[in-house]
Structure 1
């Protein structure tokens, strides 16, 4: 029920925003209208500035987000030593159009996402030196005659060992109706380095 409501709400707002933005700016994105301001909005919304902040002593920082479309993804974690035990939920992330849509439209979309429990990005403090498994589970929607078509993608599970004082970016990437998950060391968010994180295909529930 939560997913259906979130998908339908985001879909309606995004469709309305396309029409409104097209009428007022002849289809231009906000990044074309005001590139400098748009870049700041993108960084504010996607966790870039959180990655820039100092990591709390004795921890590793994780920023998790859904990219490639306005579709949400839910993230969960578990410590790798506890294989086959239940994942613990972190939250749901969804791209809200900040930096692409006009600010007031992006704000409206962001408000709808927040009301449904989805954020532009999630932050999680991990215990360093211990293997951790991060699971992303996505659901997408597209318009069809007479309604909305919903597509589920995942779960996708990655395992890696976070190091103390480092910041990591976990991206759930939508590619059409398919998806993949990428983990990067983003201690320098301007130059993230993709990790060779293990992709797990068993014991994911």
Structure 2
């Protein structure tokens, strides 16, 4: 469940940071902390004062949560700045965490983080749907909204995810190098969510398709 960043020119920023410590997983599940990391990846570096302007939270609150994020390696101090006006930057372009762990503490914390991220996705998608009437016709027609019901083995599902990642990979460099963006390119969120349908009993008849707007069936 990655999140894109916007590293500064010349930075040797890792592609992703992997959280495996239950304390780090629980710390990152905080809504404001996820927001701060996302903003730093897209608009950083910036100070706690700027973070407060972007989030509507107090400077003290943003400063506190940035320090917590730094404790677990998600952000770090950036060069420049003085005293309380020190800038912060994200340490990686994406965040990853275990999909499965034999350690119960890690598993529970990872599941809680995944649930928090899912809620965040839902809120953002809902907000996008509420505001899409403001978009130009070409963007409304290009946006994707629907789902597919597939019958797969675990190996096939994993392979499908790898192929989807391979399709998206060529566009990643545009996040850090604006010169690679063609005219008219804008930030687009692509969600990748695939889960076992536990609502349909195994072996029972199930529908062959899923819901999607009529415009996407044309």
TM-score (norm 2): 0.24
Greater fraction strand: 1
Per the normalisation by structure 1, the TM-score is 0.25
Higher Cα Rg, which structure? 2
